[in-house]
Amino acid sequence: MLGKLTWDAIPFDQPIPLISGAVVILAALGVLVWVIAKGWLPYLWKEWITSVDHKHIGIMYVLLGLLMLVRGFIDAIMMRAQQALAFHAQGYLPPEHYDQVFSAHGTIMVLFAAMPLVIGIMNFVVPLQLGVRDVAFPTLNSVSFWLTATGALLVNMSLIVGEFARTGWLPYPPLSELRYSPGVGVDYYLWAVQISGVGTLLTGINFVTTILKMRAPGMTYFRMPMFCWTALASCLLILAAFPVLTATLAMLTLDRYLGFHFFTNEAGGNAMMFMNLIWAWGHPEVYILVLPAFGIYSEVISTFSGKPLFGYRSMVAATLFICIVSFCVWLHHFFTMGAGGDVNAVFGIATSIIAVGTGVKMYNWLFTMYGGRIRFTTPMLWSLGFMTTFITGGMTGVLLAVPPADFLLHNSMFLVAHFHHVIVGGVVFAVLAGITYWWPKAFGYRLEEFWGKAAFWFALAGFYVTFVPLYVVGILGMTRRLQHYDVAEWRPWLMISAAGILVLIAGAICQMVQLSVSFLRRNELRDTTGDPWDGRSLEWATASPPPVFNFAVLPQVQDAEAFWDVKRRAREMHGSGSEPHYEALEMPRNSPTGFVCAFFATIIGFALVWHIWWLMIVGLVGAYATFVVFAWRDVPEYVIPAEEVARLDRANRIARQEAPYGASAI
């Protein structure tokens, strides 16, 4: 009846997952009860859960990403603590639990924290920067979000019901095959990643279509803001790389569920094929994350230097160069496979060459700042912190790209230090910069600066104290994923690293304080003009927060810096011109399709993990029924009358005319 699911699946004998799971469940129930008691459920359902508005979906993505960032960070704290304690000892985490912690940490951080954060910011910003009213497929966008949330839910469910994979964040066979991992951990991984991967793929399709086919009149390719270019490159990578992930995980699933022989040791299976396939997705994946991050830095640095982005076209070229070359480097993840000197040389050189694109970007950011009037706001500090951190992190990457060096450093803590160096310094800093930068646009008030800056300095210092020692232990020969060790020279460095995580915790607390303080002081931090930073692109041309239709009249773009150009002309004409002619607008109706899809996807995923076949069939029938009901709808859109559009837009125009341009900026 319930497949493999029995009471043994609940870890009654292990206090850590049991207590943390209970706390999470209680917290979730508490929030639910609070929401119901306050009578907010109808509002949440109408405005958020069923919303197809890209702004609301973007905010929900970011919220999901932040929650998962905290979850992944707790895993990180546990690992650093374990390695600090486990010298000639077992520490406090038994091996089977420690293995789950590092697997969950990687999976959650890359797929359920970084991806939702980056995609969330793309969701919120891209249509506004393009000067349009929504993405190409609004309902599909909601489906994407809810499928990602399903994946996150399944991963977290494994904390209490059953177990998570013990194979690392990429389940390498033969370890991940049924014979060596008979539990449900790998199955949780497979279905969680598979379901959220479908969501991500749909996002890729949605945004490539949006960026290529839906832009404000006059916005030619070379007038698109840099963030849109990087979002385009990232989504093109999603489009080409995520199907590879889907196919690869499907093959491993077939091996585990139906006894196929893709990656098994027997009957001719080929485990190294898995490594090749998974990294053909995995390497582009890091650029999927970091290219939009580069876009965020470009926007922030240009705005707070008060200058157009230096070398715009070379920046576009560098972005697309990275986009293509990122598919030609995957083998550097396993130089030790034994592909031979020639093959390793080709991939080593390609890996070194890809750094050239990033180098171009670095110089462009430097020259953007050169001669500018720089405002050291919180987003700008994150960007500067990124530039210094990413240069050193990138150089350790170039070092690893040299095959003979890689043979020594492969799978060592040096590698762990390297990719945290670039991903934390590149993606996490960018996300925090982006959240601070676009927060006033999303919520109508700026974030408080003091706590934001404190969070930055703690994070930067904590980052170096945590990860530089890991380079050292890597060179001293420590391999990654060690549950305990008995080499005395490693101990002091791992203690320093554990101290570093305390500094990072302080940074995380400052960040939370910043959000709370800003919320409490939101009236003094209010952004009435919609343009708090003296911005240069179109998202600052509308109110904060923007009306549901973003722009009452689609802007006419005449320059690469569309809004800066508008402001310049307005200044020359001493005013922002006459009121435009308002027309009635058609907007997509909200739809529960995404939420219902995710509900059935959760059922299907859970049923497959536990081999509950009847439940899987129920889920599949439900999903098909959802598809038919959605296809059967008659009125997908509603009309906002012209008077309503005019009323909403006039308030914003008055606020803008009262505030002289630039004066509203800090």
List residues binding other proteins (CB under 8 A): 132, 136-137, 201, 204-206, 208-209, 212-221, 239-240, 242-244, 246-248, 251, 254, 258-262, 264, 266-270, 273, 277, 554, 556, 624, 627-628, 631-632, 634, 636
Distance CA 185, CA 24 (A): 20
Name the nearest CA neighbour of 115 among 218, 14, 235.
235
- Smallest distance, other proteins to C-beta of residue 271, A: 11
Quick one: CA dihedral 568, 371, 390, 425, positive or negative? negative
Question: C-beta of 278: minimal distance to other proteins in Å?
Answer: 11
Indicate the residue among 198 and 460 with the shorter CB distance to other proteins: 198
Nearer to other proteins, 220 or 523 (CB): 220
| Min separation Cβ 205 and other proteins, Å | 5
* Rg of the chain on CA atoms, in Å: 25
Shortest distance in whole angstroms from residue 240 CB to other proteins: 6
Q: If we measure between CA atoms, which residue out of 31, 115, 20, 16 comes closest to residue 66?
A: 115
CA distance 141 to 205: 10
Could you tell me which of 203, 11, 180, 174 has the C-alpha nearest to residue 111?
203
| Bridge partners, 412 (sequence order) | 479
Report in angstroms how near the CB of residue 529 gets to other proteins at its nearest. 26
Q: Which tokens belong to 617?
A: 């069939």
Nearer to other proteins, 209 or 576 (CB): 209
Q: How many CB atoms lie within 10 A of CB 126?
A: 28
Length of the chain: 666
Task: Please report where in the chains the tokens 């920067």 appear, as a residue.
Answer: 129
Closest approach of Cβ 446 to other proteins, in Å? 31
Q: Is the C-alpha dihedral spanning 411, 412, 415, 421 positive or negative?
A: positive
Q: Minimal CA–CA distance to 638: which of 557, 548, 559, 505?
A: 548
Comparing CB distances to other proteins, the nearer of 93 and 140 is 140
At its nearest, how many Å lie between other proteins and the CB of residue 558?
8
User: In angstroms, rounded to a whole number, what is the distance separating the alpha carbons of residues 510 and 522?
Assistant: 17
527 three-class SS: coil
In the complex with other proteins, the residue whose CB is nearer, 20 or 276, is 276
Question: First vs last Cα of the chain: how many Å apart?
Answer: 64
| Closest distance of CB 177 from other proteins, Å | 13
In terms of CB distance, is 262 or 582 closer to other proteins?
Answer: 262
Nearer to other proteins, 63 or 623 (CB): 623
Task: List residues bridging with 87 in a β-sheet.
Answer: 485
Q: CB 531 → other proteins: shortest distance, Å?
A: 23
Cβ closest to other proteins, residue 30 vs residue 182:
182
- 278-281-283 Cα angle (round to 5): 100
Residues labelled catalytic: 61, 71, 75, 79, 102, 123, 134, 141, 144, 148, 200, 203, 210, 283, 285, 287, 298, 314, 358, 361, 418-420
Min dist CB 39 to other proteins, Å, is 36
Beta bridge partners of 526: 445
d(CA 289, CA 297): 13
Is 365 in contact with 301 (CB distance < 8 Å)?
yes
Q: Quick check: 211 and 130 in contact, CB under 8 A?
A: yes
Question: For the purposes of burial, counting CB atoms within 10 Å of the CB of 509, is it exposed (0-12), middle (13-18) or buried (19 or more)?
Answer: middle
Nearest CB to other proteins, comparing residues 147 and 296: 147
Measured CA to CA in angstroms, residue 123 lies from 26, 59, 306, 595 at distances of 31, 8, 25, 18
The residue (of 242 and 458) whose beta carbon lies closer to other proteins is: 242
Alpha helix stretches (DSSP H) within 424-478: 429-443, 449-475
Instruction: Give 209 or 352: the residue with its C-beta nearer to other proteins.
Output: 209
Separation between Cα atoms, residue 21 and residue 160, nearest integer Å: 6
β-sheet bridge partners, residue 586: 639
Q: Which amino acid is at 208?
A: V
Q: What is the 3-state secondary structure (H, E, C) of 252-307?
A: HHHHHHHCCCCCCCCCCCCHHHHHHHHHHHHHHHHHHHHHHHHHHHHHHHHHHHCC
3-state class (DSSP) for residue 376: coil
- Whole-number minimum distance, CB 389 to other proteins, in Å? 34
Is there a contact between 450 and 378 (Cβ–Cβ < 8 Å)?
A: no
